[in-house]
Amino acid sequence: MTDGAYTYWLDDCYSVDGEGLRAYARATRSPHVPYAMSRIIPRDTPVPPLIVADPVFKVAARLLAEQIEDFNVGRLLHVSQTVRQLEPIHIGDVASLGARIADRVTRAGIDLFTVECAIRVGGETRIETSSVVAYSGGEDVNTELVDAASRGIVMHGAVL
């Protein structure tokens, strides 16, 4: 797909660095990331493709916020995700990110969104993701209880 195929195209928005990789390794407790405690990680080290989950989530939330009135990230439920790594990204890469809503289906007051993203380095697509998220905000949902609970359990930073 071209950059124009995405609702958002964010040039050079994500930098892969050693500290971010160590934080990812510690957070996921991944046995496949042996350098979690390394002081120096070589620049050409390939990184797990899910390291892009944070910027992908942030841009997806931004897309959904434009589609849903009174959007509350606490009402999101991650249903499924596919990640296709065409080529690894490495320490030192600066990635661009494209995102779009590919599908929206509403059933019983719950919206199911399919969000597709592409991560490119140097104009070359390295990772493609497709995520399905559910958003409960219909009239049948007690939004006051959901909103109150989400403040205590959902933590998110600024959206890209």
pLDDT of residue 151: 52
In angstroms, the CA 25 to CA 20 distance is: 9
- Inter-residue contact 137 to 72 (CB < 8 Å): yes
Domains recognised in the chain with CATH numbers: 8-16+46-159 (3.10.129.10)
Q: Write out residues in the chain with pLDDT < 50, as ranges.
A: 1, 152-160
Q: Which two tokens stand for residue 131?
A: 């995520």
pLDDT of residue 153: 45
- What are the helix (H) ranges across 10-133? 18-28, 53-67
pLDDT of residue 1: 47
Q: Which two tokens stand for residue 109?
A: 């007051």
Average pLDDT of the chain, as a whole number: 80
DSSP label at 21?
A: H
pLDDT of residue 75: 81
- Inter-residue contact 86 to 74 (CB < 8 Å): no
pTM for this predicted structure? 0.78
43 SS3 class: coil
